Amino acid sequence: MLYVVIAFLWTSIWLYLLLGGADFGAGIIELVSKRENRNKARHTMYRAIGPIWEANHMWLIIAIVILFVGFPRIYTTMSIFIHIPLAAMLLGIIARGTAFVFRNYDAVEDQMQEVYNRIFIYSSAITPFFLGIIAASTVSRKIDLAANDFLSAYVYSWFNAFGIAVGLFTVCICGFLAAIYIIGEVNNESDKQHFIRLAKKMVVAAFVAGAFVFLAAHYEQIPLLDWIFGHWIGNIAIVAASISLVILWRSLARGQVILIRLLAGFQVSMILFATTYTHFPNIVLLKDGSALSLLADSGSAKTMEALALALLIGSVFILPALFYLLYSFEKRKGSIQH
């Protein structure tokens, strides 16, 4: 049952990165679009992220609940030592959601609409930035359980070159996912070409940010190269991601919507896999050389059995409802277009 819980944890993180990433990327696309194209991007994204918007934070909630119930030591350590970026990310989620609702459903259109737009755009970038920082802090061996001052305990664990680099890379990945997703939501050929060019720019930005991650890892003496390229599995994942990028680049020019979406999701999945498989079952690497493990630091057998059963039963109800939600939005968009 423990491995069932771990599978649900990894899947929820994976889906949040893919679906939540595309959601956050909607605001990032607005941010990088030229002013004359922002309204076009805003309205197109509003239609495109509908089904994702309704469900994406479910995956984050599932991951948090799994850690809280099944891995209390891991949950406690993260919530204490990296509580600042966690709080920043949660505030970003709240601000973004509030701004999204008010800017689209406010009964009165006035100057506050511009305020809502700005909050939505900037929180869309800030939230994945801190999400990336949180991910970086768990593997950078900066969390010091023996720290005896505020900065060492609560700031230096995440505020460093590697964390900032991973944060920027996460922002670029989110923008990339959103740019790919939006291509299939436009019917006008000129609009489609505009978003294809934007998607290519986000690919380049993600590549540059990825190079910055490796440079920062070298500066912080984090063996990221060994983690990814030190095993044949990591090499296969990177090669597969690279090949899919070439195919994606060619497919963008042809406007093959379904294929480019699948390739984008595959690339992000391979990046996530290549950077996490080496540490399994360790999920948090500590400064003293030890680690918090999903196997050694799990709850009691009875707790994991009950949690696994709850997740399995919950998926029977949640997944059909989610598929119906996606179907409903696609059917609605089809009827509007006709």
Do 156 and 301 contact (CB within 8 A), yes or no? no
Do 152 and 210 contact (CB within 8 A), yes or no? no
pLDDT at 336: 47
> Considering the domain boundaries, does residue 265 fall inside one?
no
> Considering the domain boundaries, does residue 106 fall inside one?
yes
> Considering the domain boundaries, does residue 234 fall inside one?
no
Give mean pLDDT in consecutive 10-residue pieces for the chain, a chain of 338 residues.
Answer: 93 88 84 73 66 73 94 95 95 89 75 86 93 94 93 94 95 89 75 80 90 94 88 87 87 78 89 86 93 93 94 88 71 52
| Cα dihedral 145→147→153→156 (10° resolution) | -110
**How far is it, in rounded angstroms, from Cα 278 to Cα 249?**
29
> Considering the domain boundaries, does residue 183 fall inside one?
yes
The residue written with tokens 């070439």 in the block is 246
Do 310 and 43 contact (CB within 8 A), yes or no? no
> Considering the domain boundaries, does residue 72 fall inside one?
yes
pLDDT at 338: 44
pLDDT at 97: 84
pLDDT at 98: 87
pLDDT at 318: 82
pLDDT at 141: 93
pLDDT at 86: 96
pLDDT at 52: 61
Domain count, the chain: 1
> Considering the domain boundaries, does residue 113 fall inside one?
yes
| Stated pTM of the model | 0.90
The residue written with tokens 């195919």 in the block is 247
- Full residue range of the structural domain in which residue 209 is found: 2-221+293-333
> Considering the domain boundaries, does residue 139 fall inside one?
yes
Distances (CA, A) of 308 to 14, 15, 58, 292, 295: 18, 18, 17, 20, 14
> Considering the domain boundaries, does residue 251 fall inside one?
no
